[in-house]
Amino acid sequence: MRFLRSLFLFCFLIVFTIPYATACFVAFPFMRADKRYWMAVGWCRTTLFVARHLNGIRYRVEGMENLPDGPAVLLPKHQSAWETVALPAIMPRPLCYVFKRELLYVPFFGWALGMLKMIQIDRKEGKYAFVSVVKQGRQRLSEGAWVIMFPEGTRTAVGTQGKYKTGGARFAMDAGACVVPIAHNAGRVWPRNSFIKYPGIVTVSIGKPIDTVGLSADEINTRVETWIETEMRRIDPDAYYSDAQTCSTQPR
């Protein structure tokens, strides 16, 4: 049954994305940038709605009151494709993703992405790529958007963590923005590299903003990592049960 429901979701995404992206192509030239963004978010919200009723994937959000009023860089845990879809639908402000320029050539999805105000990174620029990211990011922050970056870079399996990179921290420091750590357990219902989706409730926990003034990139990154990984053990303790058992059996 889970396979069939996952197959139906896969088919829905194909059938739904093509006409939706086509509608975006037609409408975007006549719309302001902010209107384009919220039209694109409509795809995210519809996908979450279908996943809820077809696959039983629900979510709850803790800590919405922690979101700041001013410029911010969101640094979420990265376990799944779910958070990439869900966070734009959850957040009250436009989110600006940093993505590889090559994604612009992906049919429909990439074409629509190119008409939105995101941050493109061209790895061919080498050391100048980050300078370009900061320049684009500052512009987006000044327009009221929040920049979002995944500090682990790639998706990690449930119960594990990747190496936290300092790119998001360095960007926030250079842009004069605070960082907001975000933990979630989306890998439980939408595992990385898995076709099968599982019913369940995703808990999204938003931490308090971390002021970057007076801190180095490494200090910012350490605070983000510490908060996220500690929070992960609170919202998904079963995933880290073996770690807790190992610690409890260590001699003191």
Q: Is the pTM of this model over 0.85?
A: yes
- What is the DSSP-derived secondary structure letter of residue 176? T
Tokens 């989306």 sit at which residue?
186
Q: What is the pLDDT of residues 88-136, one digit of tens each?
A: 999 999 999 988 777 777 777 677 777 788 888 876 776 777 888 888 8
Please report, for the chain, the start and end positions of each structural domain, with discontinuous segments joined by +: 2-241
The CATH number of 2-241 is 3.40.1130
Region 131-149 average pLDDT: 92
Indicate the range of 82-96, 134-148, 155-169, 236-250 predicted with least confidence: 236-250
Tokens 């990139």 sit at which residue?
217
Q: What is the pLDDT of residues 48-63, one digit of tens each?
A: 999 999 999 999 999 9
Q: How many CB atoms lie within 10 A of CB 239?
A: 18
pLDDT of residue 242: 64
Backbone angles phi, psi at 72, to 5 degrees: -150, 155
What does the DSSP assignment read for 179-247? EEEEEE-GGGTS-TT-S----EEEEEEEPPPB--TT--HHHHHHHHHHHHHHHHHHH-GGGGHHHHHHH
Q: Tally the residues of the chain.
A: 252
The H or E element containing residue 249 is: helix 241-249
